[in-house]
Amino acid sequence: MNQDVLYYVSLKGLINKNGKILLLRDPNMEYEKQIELPGGKMQSGETDFHKTLLREIKEETGLKVTIGKPFDVTFFEYLKSSKHRNRNKKIFIVVFECFYQSGNVKLSNEHDAYWWADKNNFEDIFTSKSNLYEIVKKYFGEK
């Protein structure tokens, strides 16, 4: 019998504001300054996906949003050799469609840039064809 593996759960938001979605850049990722969605891992004691995602979005962007349906699920594994705070973690990522309610973007220290991307410019923002790129492509393909 194979040994159980510890996985983390991360919740990300496709925040829709007038047909555009918010993309963030994490300067601490080795992979050409990784583009990502607002959100993050569940912390000890958290069991409610929506509350966790609302907390993460508020912490990372300062925005108030409402959460819609889950849109997609993906997986990411940080390399053991990574210098990132999540090195050697295996993470399942649940992506929810979210809707902007109010606020101006105020980035936390985890990110150094952001874009409101639409179906015409999102490809210019990504530096690689990552799992997230495919999710964003799918999202705009369904709109």
The answer as to whether 104 is a domain residue is: yes
The answer as to whether 2 is a domain residue is: no
Residues 85, 28: Cα–Cα separation, whole Å? 9
The answer as to whether 3 is a domain residue is: no
- C-alpha angle with apex 36: 66 to 40, nearest 5 degrees? 60
Give pLDDT tens digits for 72-114. Answer: 999 887 656 556 566 667 889 999 999 999 999 999 999 999 9
Rounded to 5 degrees, what are φ and ψ at 123?
-65, -30
pLDDT given at position 84: 55
The answer as to whether 121 is a domain residue is: yes
- State the residue range of the domain holding 51: 8-142
The answer as to whether 1 is a domain residue is: no
Mean pLDDT to the nearest integer, 15-43: 87
Residues 142, 129: Cα–Cα separation, whole Å? 19
Domain count, the chain: 1
pLDDT given at position 127: 79
pLDDT given at position 85: 60
Which amino acid is located at 113 in the chain?
A
pTM > 0.85: yes or no? yes
The β-bridge relationship of strands 8-17 and 90-102 is: parallel
pLDDT of 115 above 80: yes
77: CATH = 3.90.79.10
Band (26; pLDDT cuts 50, 70, 90)? confident
